[in-house]
Amino acid sequence: MLNEELVKFFASNVKSDFYGDIRLNESEGTRFVVENSKVRKVSQTSDSGFGLRVMKNGVWGFASSSELSKKSIKTALDSAYSYVNSKIKSKIRFEINPEMNVANVKVPWQKDIRDIELSKKLALVKAVDEAARGKETVSTLSAYSDVVIHWIQGSTLGNIVSFYESYPNLGVSSFIKDSSGIQSIRKTLGGNCGFEIFERGAAEKLGKTVLEEAKNLIGAKVVKGGKYDVVLDPSMTGVYTHEAFGHATEADAILAGASVLEGKLGKVVGKDTVTIIDDPTMPGARGSFKFDQEGTNAKKRVLVENGLLTNYLNTLETSNRLKLEPNGAARSMDYSCRPIARMSNTFIKPGDFKDDIYEGIKEGIAFYGFQYGYVDPGSGKFMFKSQYGRMIRNGKLAEFIRDAALTGSTLEILNRIDAIGKDFSLDGGTCGKEGQWVPVTSGGPSIRVRQVVVGGQ
């Protein structure tokens, strides 16, 4: 069991001319993998440790250990000091002024996943796997995972917060075969919440949806490459918003000169119909949290308001260096990682378009469901691949297509959005940066973008 005693021990052992903070972390998790109705993998994880930081004269020293003891903290402190006391100095200067929160937040969710019997979790993943099977499927792959994390964090200034995070997640893939080979659709359901997320048939519905969408891929062809007008569904809108735009608002990238949004605060970056929000306060969402990993209260951040860039995602360091307000964006994967600027639940605000979003498109492509993608925040270049697509011909949805991918530059695409839908949904995922993976969601409405390069054969 974690206790605050180690935080106090740490604070009392940091040299008086240093700022220091520490994160203690304990996690317990379960995972079941079911393939083709058979239980393939059963596993449990249990992890604990601490990560501490000290800072003086603009240099951080960080050290972590999987051993939660006073002796380990002292050893780690010596390691951390060795970086700060290096003969090589930095010209960078900043102050760390945390919110002086003192809080002990109890488990907030309705059905604690630790109270749910393992057999019930296994039954759930078996049911979703079964629902994803049909006569068209060649195989199914389903996984249930959960993890409950207890964090205690505090600093040499006296702030200390204790809180829990709980991430149940269910994922299912259905594989179908046609003459072109095997195609698959995958969907997930999860949040920072309790087991209640899987109630009222949500899991079975997930399996059935995957099967139905997979069937659409039978006979689907690869699109011909070229430039098209495109409509992105909420999932693909979310990926653009998160990957192409959101990463460029992370203030550590701004300071490193590695973002296309550097120097653009207060300037127009997109059409005046576009508003982009990052909000970690959405109840139960996978990217939500009560405190960030520097003990700052989570806050809703409007990144773009009517086309104007209004904010970056800040840690205590970046906000001080950029002379902005801290906004609770410091996140770390676990105790072994230092907190860095990250997103939470990132989305475009919905507009007014419905089916008229396809109007005026002579030959275009509608993209559905994110498969994978990547972005270079420094140049703004990105590439995203959808799970499937549909041709748009003369303003109407036409035949299904497979392996549809698009590429572009962050700001050019933001300026080519000319219609925003009324629909809205968020997709859960896990975002990677500097080797750290944190739970997030991304989404928004459907959007129409003019003249985008689409890859094909």
Partner 1 sequence: MDSESILRAIRRTKLDAEFDVRIIEDHSSSLSIERGEFVGGQTNVGKEANIRCLYKERSSSVHLSINSIEDLKLGIIRSYKLAKTLGSEDGQSKFSMQKHINKPNPFSKKIDTVKNYDVLSMMLDAQKEASNLEHIYSVNIFSGYSHTNLCAANSNGINGDWKGSSAFLRAEVIAKEGAEQTTGSKGAESIDPYGIDFDDVVIKASNVASRMLGAKSAPTFKGDLLLSPEVSNLIFGEFVSAMNGEDILKKRSFLINKKDQVVASKLIKLREENWLKRSPYNRQFDDELIPTSSKDLVSNGLLRTYLHNIYSAEKTGEIPTGNGFFGLDGSSIDTTNIVLKAGNVKTEDLISRIKKGIYMLETGDSPNMATGDLSAMVMNGYYIENGEIKYPVKETMVGVNLLDLMKNVSVLGSEYVGLDGIFTPALIVNNVQVSGK
35 lies in the binding site for partner 1 (CB under 8 A): yes
Alpha-carbon distance of 174 to 182, in angstroms, equals 10
- Give whichever of 405 and 426 is closer to partner 1, judged by the CB atom: 405
76 lies in the binding site for partner 1 (CB under 8 A): yes
114 lies in the binding site for partner 1 (CB under 8 A): no
180 lies in the binding site for partner 1 (CB under 8 A): yes
Q: Smallest gap, in angstroms, from Cβ of residue 214 to partner 1?
A: 12
Candidates 342, 403, 420, 446; binder of partner 1 (CB under 8 A) is 403
Q: Smallest gap, in angstroms, from Cβ of residue 268 to partner 1?
A: 13
43 lies in the binding site for partner 1 (CB under 8 A): yes
Q: Smallest gap, in angstroms, from Cβ of residue 93 to partner 1?
A: 10
Alpha-carbon distance of 100 to 156, in angstroms, equals 11
Structure tokens at 18: 């240093």
408 lies in the binding site for partner 1 (CB under 8 A): yes
Alpha-carbon distance of 338 to 62, in angstroms, equals 7
58 lies in the binding site for partner 1 (CB under 8 A): yes
SS (H, E, C) 293-356: CCCCECCCEEEEECCEECCCECCHHHHHHHCCCCCCCEECCCCCCCCEECCCEEEECCCCECHH
Alpha-carbon distance of 283 to 186, in angstroms, equals 25
Q: Smallest gap, in angstroms, from Cβ of residue 115 to partner 1?
A: 17
Rg (CA), the chain: 23
Q: Near partner 1 by CB under 8 A, which window of 8-16, 85-93, 273-281, 290-298?
A: 85-93
Say if strands 19-35 and 330-331 run parallel, antiparallel, or are unpaired.
Answer: unpaired
135 lies in the binding site for partner 1 (CB under 8 A): no
The interface with partner 1 within residues 181-200 (CB under 8 A) comprises: 181-184
The DSSP 8-state label assigned to residue 244 in this structure reads I
- Give whichever of 170 and 426 is closer to partner 1, judged by the CB atom: 170
Candidates 87, 106, 135, 323; binder of partner 1 (CB under 8 A) is 87
45 lies in the binding site for partner 1 (CB under 8 A): yes
89 lies in the binding site for partner 1 (CB under 8 A): yes
Structure tokens at 164: 């829990």
Alpha-carbon distance of 371 to 369, in angstroms, equals 6
67 lies in the binding site for partner 1 (CB under 8 A): yes
179 lies in the binding site for partner 1 (CB under 8 A): no
The interface with partner 1 within residues 244-283 (CB under 8 A) comprises: 255-258, 260
Contact 313, 343 (CB under 8 A): yes
Alpha-carbon distance of 413 to 452, in angstroms, equals 8
The interface with partner 1 within residues 217-246 (CB under 8 A) comprises: 222, 225-227
SS3 (DSSP) at 362: coil
Candidates 105, 118, 158, 283; binder of partner 1 (CB under 8 A) is 118
Candidates 59, 107, 116, 322; binder of partner 1 (CB under 8 A) is 59
Candidates 215, 271, 300, 381; binder of partner 1 (CB under 8 A) is 381
Burial track 301-328 (b if 16+ CB lie within 10 A, e otherwise): bebbeebbbbbbbbbbbbbbbeeeebbb
Candidates 12, 16, 44, 179; binder of partner 1 (CB under 8 A) is 44
380 lies in the binding site for partner 1 (CB under 8 A): yes
Q: Which amino acid is at 436?
A: Q
